[in-house]
Chain A
Amino acid sequence: MPVKSNYAENASPMFRILSPRQCEEILLAAQEVLERTGVTVYDEEARDTLKKAGCWVDDILVRIPSAVVDRALRSVPKRVTLCNSRTGSRDVRLEGYNAYFGTGSDTPFTIDPYTGKRQRSTKQSVSNACKVIDALENLDFVMSLGIVQDVPLLISDRHQFEAQVLNTGKPIVTTAHDIYGFADIIEMCEIIAGGEEELRRNPFMTLYAEPISPLQHAWEAASKLILAAKKGLPVVYTPCVMAGGTVPATMAGVLTQGLAESLSGLVINQSTREGSPFIMGGVFTIMDMATTIFSYGSPEFNLLMSCLADLAHYLKIPMFGTAGCSDSNLVDEQAGIEGALSIAMTALSGPNLNHDVGYIEYGSTSSLEFLTINNDVIGMARRLVRGIQVNDETLALDLIHKIGPGGHFLCEDHTMKHFKTETYYPNLIDRQRYESWVETGSKTLFERANEKVKDIIENYEPDPLPKDIQQKIRGIVERSEQKIAK
């Protein structure tokens, strides 16, 4: 067999929107924004830290010289690993072009799979969601898929975390109202991990925080960045910007200002403690100028997400992306279209930690059916990204010769060996013949998804946490309840 030389292979499809020079141009522009325009920081400790790091602080306005940004870019780790809380297995490696998918957290509403009604999310709905996520093979991490609202709202973040960690072992990206909530959640995680150091070495949780666009770091956000750095725990910092509203209407302007917001968060984080794990985010989209919504389904949203992934790869910072979501008010054809476009683009671009799978209604409502459907779409996208292997075994010229014109390959060992790995078999996507489909009840994809969701809720049991640990977590939740009661 001949040996090939100088043979370049696309082991997976190569997909880029921005060239490296375009990435550099946007980075430089973002640095110019930080040095010239600056950001407002509403947390005093953060301002002090920034001042010490060499930033120009004038009341709450902080301007960041480029050298300070450069230093933060050098010190931030280019990889973060998240593990399973039950097994400790390091499943989610946020590095390079690895793309993992999970849900989002901040939907006030959810669709009840039993009644079909849109209702406020509850602790039970979040528990159900986490079970479903735990059961789906293409979902890699968890966000609550709803804001728990049937508990005292000021400490709902503790309840929300409890509901999540009891019902899934997958890594959790958690929200917290403020650093006090965050501290309680960290305490819960340390109990589960078996100590502060154990959690730091093998984190199964990362905190989610976001600046307020344009160019503002609220007290909650900045203080979370600092606490995460002090604790040595990873933090996701993700500007949510809308072109024409909180950022310029041009895509390059969106990327520039959004990146400036991320980088200023990075500087707060790295100035507190160099080398602390940081995951750069961004939900970058347009404001729909007819309805004023923050669009979760527009083509610009997909385009910007892929561009941001190019930037994150250029900067070598792990990236928090967005996919599998829709502006549609129900799970219909539009939801299918928008979910598929965003998942395909995301899988091709390779941002690392991709959230909001299962969002409908421009992020106001969650749907477990949509989540379950997107589990299949992620499977399709992953098949696409595995690409085409070209070698003697896969070219199969001898087999083609053996079968010759007019034959078929169904009965060949080669087929038997490869058909399952070369082809992705979805769970819910229907490929029956028409007659069989009619025979099995002429069900739409949504109906099949609804059945599967109910089946998981009723019959699937995630790995439980040990009883004593469950009790300790309960204790922390109750403690916070007592605090606000006073």
Chain B
Amino acid sequence: MSKSQYVRANYQVNATPQLKMLSDDQCESILNGALEVLERTGAEIHSQEALDVFKKGGCWVDGNMVRFPSHIVEWAIRNAPSRIVISNQKGERTLFLEGQNVYYGPGPTNTYTIDPFTGERRRPRKADTVRAAKVIDALPNISYAMDCGTVMDVTPTLSDVHAFQAMLENTNKPIIHWGFGIDQYQDIIDMAAVVAGGLEALQQNPFILLYSESSPPLRHSVEAIDKAIFAAKNNIPIVYTPCTFAGGVAPATMAATLVIAVADSLVGLVAGQLVRKGSGFVMGGLISTMDMASTILSYGAAELSLLSAGLTAVARYMKIPMFSTGGCTDSKVIDTQMGLEAAFSILIAGLSGANLIHDCSYMEYGATSSLELMTMDDEIIGMVKRILQGVEVDDEHLALDVINKVGPGGHYLAEDHTMKHFWGFWAPTLINRLRYDGWKAEGSKPMAQRVKEKTQDIINNHKPEPKSESVLAEIQAIVDRAEAREANKR
């Protein structure tokens, strides 16, 4: 009887690779640490509205210091949705932020960008976000858009609004976007509602995630916390991401750095849940170490991967979707360091099972964005996705009959089995496997050159699916409205 005609009993398989940075007990310890910090030390809240929300919700408010009884935080954790589905701009449900689904994307708000045509490092312009959106739209492994740099050739306080317009016009992928304040958030939601076909449609099928960043340790500015409240009020999911670095705004030990990051995230979560029970919340995460020689917040350190995987484990333990970091580097040029740091962090973030992994465009410890890095990351993500698929072990894949047929000294190249399965090999596009002589014959190009050519080709030739004239006009009207408002403020 052929072996495949019986079933295996008690056959437990790892359908994918299994990486567990922290045990459940360790996750609980870190969560308990965060609960203790919130109950004992508390957080400094700079928004009157938030202070009122917390007070009404039963937190202990003293001036701008708020302490959080653990039961309230635990209540908030229980009420946060364990899954959030984000659509693309055509309303197709695309990002399933649940379980250990992994999606990669670029990062926001760099103060410089590298021009992919001239190689110049300069301030980002609106045209750069247009280019970025095109590249995002074209790359298969980049699943959502972020602005890839703070646009600086527009009204400074509307750089967020202009960047959002640039993205809407040049990609249909979901967008994670920041805003300076509540006014801008309103503009962004209004524009998104135009695309979605109304606010209600946007709320039911959001293609945007709002993004807010607090200032650790345990300090939440008006902008940061008010945005969390605004998002909850408007029923749009938010990514709340403290930017925590060991040794600087957290103790030098990894566990304590996680405690501060979790505590700061939970402050945002509690605010949102008190405003609207069940409002969509994605826990953040930019978490790394401060390089004690240069004082930068490192985007390439092993600790970035280590801490991000640790934080993801805690988020998973709480069943809250997680926004993590990868594909970034401290390098100032496109070089071997960029490649290795990006690869290291993309691999570990992927294995950790974080839902959204951002900053696949960050070089120079986040100061500068690079579309070329994003293009390179797209390739690395492809490799890592192959690794994440793991290995199938069954009769077809064990192939004992084929092995027996070929026998010692033969080869498998012309076997039907090979023809059927070699398609499973990941096919590189930028990674080059030409033999030395062939590579030389093609001009001895390093990967940087191939990446540059592909990036330029996308920018020159990729045509994103356009939106209708009327939608574009409505978006423009909202931008104009914002410009008028800001002019009045001055």
Q: Which of A's residues lie within 8 Å of B, judged by CB?
A: 6-10, 13-19, 21-22, 25-26, 29, 32-33, 36-40, 61, 118, 212, 214-216, 243-253, 255-257, 260, 286-291, 293, 295, 297-300, 302-304, 306-307, 327-341, 344-345, 348, 361-362, 364-365, 373, 377, 379-381, 383-384, 387-391, 393-397, 399-401, 403-410, 412, 414-415, 417-419, 422-425, 429-434, 436-438, 442, 444-446, 449
Known: A337-B339, A431-B300, A432-B294. A409 touches B332 (CB 8 A): no
Name 8 interchain pairs, CB-CB below 8 A, sorted by A: A17-B391, A288-B425, A307-B391, A329-B440, A337-B339, A384-B302, A397-B33, A423-B246
Q: Which of A38, A336, A390, A431 contacts B339 (CB 8 A)?
A: A336
Known: A245-B413, A329-B436, A444-B336. A337 touches B253 (CB 8 A): no
Known: A32-B400, A388-B21. A397 touches B37 (CB 8 A): yes
- Quick one: which of B13, B33, B392, B431 has the most chain A CB within 10 A? B431
The reply to whether B294 and A387 contact each other, CB–CB distance below 8 Å, is no
B201, chain A: closest CB distance, angstroms: 39
Q: Give 1 or 0 for each of B444-485: 1 = CB within 8 Å of chain A CB.
A: 101110010000000000000000000000000000000000
Q: Does B243 contact A (CB under 8 A)?
A: no
A474, chain B: closest CB distance, angstroms: 35
In the complex, the chain B residue whose C-beta lies closest to that of A403 is B217
Q: Does B489 contact A (CB under 8 A)?
A: no
Residues of chain A lying within 8 A (CB to CB) of residue B246: 419, 422-423
The reply to whether A380 and B248 contact each other, CB–CB distance below 8 Å, is no
The reply to whether A377 and B340 contact each other, CB–CB distance below 8 Å, is yes
B305, chain A: closest CB distance, angstroms: 6
The reply to whether B259 and A248 contact each other, CB–CB distance below 8 Å, is no
Q: Which of A249, A407, A429, A444 contacts B330 (CB 8 A)?
A: A429
Residues of chain B lying within 8 A (CB to CB) of residue A21: 10-13
The reply to whether A216 and B408 contact each other, CB–CB distance below 8 Å, is yes
Residues of chain B lying within 8 A (CB to CB) of residue A381: 302, 344
In the complex, the chain B residue whose C-beta lies closest to that of A118 is B436
The 5 tightest CB contacts between A and B, nearest first, are A336-B339, A333-B339, A405-B44, A336-B340, A253-B399
In the docked arrangement, what's the CA distance between A399 and B260, Å?
11
The reply to whether B424 and A431 contact each other, CB–CB distance below 8 Å, is no
B329, chain A: closest CB distance, angstroms: 9
Q: Which of A250, A408, A436 contacts B249 (CB 8 A)?
A: A408
The reply to whether A252 and B399 contact each other, CB–CB distance below 8 Å, is yes
Stretch from B76-84, B171-179, B415-423 at the A interface:
B415-423
Q: By the criterion of a CB under 8 Å from any partner CB, how many residues of chain B are at the interface? A: 139
In the docked arrangement, what's the CA distance between A12 and B411, Å?
41
The reply to whether A383 and B259 contact each other, CB–CB distance below 8 Å, is no
A483, chain B: closest CB distance, angstroms: 32
In the complex, the chain A residue whose C-beta lies closest to that of B42 is A405
Q: How many pairs of A and B residues are in contact by the CB < 8 Å rule?
A: 456
Q: Does B367 contact A (CB under 8 A)?
A: yes
Residues of chain A lying within 8 A (CB to CB) of residue B394: 252
Residues of chain A lying within 8 A (CB to CB) of residue B101: none
Q: Which of A22, A295, A299, A362 contacts B13 (CB 8 A)?
A: A22
In the docked arrangement, what's the CA distance between A253 and B384, Å?
21
In the docked arrangement, what's the CA distance between A298 and B336, Å?
17
The reply to whether B418 and A248 contact each other, CB–CB distance below 8 Å, is yes
In the docked arrangement, what's the CA distance between A438 and B408, Å?
58
Known: A336-B343, A409-B251. A295 touches B365 (CB 8 A): no
In the complex, the chain B residue whose C-beta lies closest to that of A374 is B340
In the docked arrangement, what's the CA distance between A340 and B377, Å?
13
In the docked arrangement, what's the CA distance between A335 and B426, Å?
17
The reply to whether B306 and A388 contact each other, CB–CB distance below 8 Å, is yes
Known: A291-B438, A396-B251. A331 touches B309 (CB 8 A): no
Q: Does B296 contact A (CB under 8 A)?
A: yes
Residues of chain A lying within 8 A (CB to CB) of residue B340: 336-337, 339-340, 373, 377
In the docked arrangement, what's the CA distance between A381 and B400, Å?
36
Q: Give 1 or 0 for each of B428-447: 1 = CB within 8 Å of chain A CB.
A: 10111111101110001011
In the docked arrangement, what's the CA distance between A438 and B112, Å?
15
In the docked arrangement, what's the CA distance between A429 and B294, Å?
12
Stretch from B22-30, B89-97, B158-166, B274-282 at the A interface:
B22-30
Q: Does B247 contact A (CB under 8 A)?
A: yes
Residues of chain B lying within 8 A (CB to CB) of residue A307: 391
Known: A341-B384, A444-B333. A409 touches B250 (CB 8 A): yes
In the docked arrangement, what's the CA distance between A330 and B428, Å?
17
In the complex, the chain B residue whose C-beta lies closest to that of A414 is B251
Known: A243-B422, A405-B217, A405-B219. A395 touches B20 (CB 8 A): no
Within 8 A of A (CB), among B62-83: 65
Known: A18-B391, A340-B340, A395-B256. A327 touches B433 (CB 8 A): yes
Residues of chain B lying within 8 A (CB to CB) of residue A397: 33, 36-37, 40, 256, 259
The reply to whether A9 and B331 contact each other, CB–CB distance below 8 Å, is no
In the docked arrangement, what's the CA distance between A432 and B372, Å?
21
Q: Give 1 or 0 for each of B288-309: 1 = CB within 8 Å of chain A CB.
A: 0111111110101111011101
In the complex, the chain A residue whose C-beta lies closest to that of B18 is A16
Residues of chain A lying within 8 A (CB to CB) of residue B439: 329
Q: Does B393 contact A (CB under 8 A)?
A: yes
Known: A256-B403, A340-B344. A395 touches B44 (CB 8 A): no
Residues of chain A lying within 8 A (CB to CB) of residue B118: none
Residues of chain A lying within 8 A (CB to CB) of residue B393: 18, 22, 25-26, 252
Within 8 A of A (CB), among B359-396: 364-365, 367-368, 376, 379-380, 383-384, 386-387, 390-394, 396
Q: Give 1 or 0 for each of B395-406: 1 = CB within 8 Å of chain A CB.
A: 011111011101
The reply to whether B33 and A383 contact each other, CB–CB distance below 8 Å, is no
The reply to whether B26 and A419 contact each other, CB–CB distance below 8 Å, is no
The reply to whether B256 and A256 contact each other, CB–CB distance below 8 Å, is no
Q: Which of B330, B399, B424 contacts A430 (CB 8 A)?
A: B330
Q: Give 1 or 0 for each of B306-348: 1 = CB within 8 Å of chain A CB.
A: 1101100000000000000000001111111111111110011
Q: Which of B252, B341, B387, B399 contacts A250 (CB 8 A)?
A: B399
In the complex, the chain B residue whose C-beta lies closest to that of A285 is B425
- Quick one: which of A298, A327, A334, A393 has the most chain B CB within 10 A? A334
In the docked arrangement, what's the CA distance between A410 and B42, Å?
21
In the complex, the chain A residue whose C-beta lies closest to that of B45 is A405
The reply to whether B26 and A390 contact each other, CB–CB distance below 8 Å, is yes
The reply to whether B41 and A404 contact each other, CB–CB distance below 8 Å, is yes
B358, chain A: closest CB distance, angstroms: 19
Q: Does B232 contact A (CB under 8 A)?
A: no
Other A-B contacts than A13-B20, A333-B338, A418-B253, 18 sampled, CB-CB below 8 A, are A10-B20, A13-B21, A19-B13, A36-B404, A244-B412, A246-B412, A290-B427, A299-B384, A334-B446, A337-B379, A338-B431, A340-B347, A404-B217, A410-B247, A422-B303, A423-B303, A444-B335, A445-B331
The reply to whether A293 and B252 contact each other, CB–CB distance below 8 Å, is no
In the complex, the chain A residue whose C-beta lies closest to that of B451 is A333
Known: A327-B432, A400-B260, A422-B254. A40 touches B408 (CB 8 A): yes
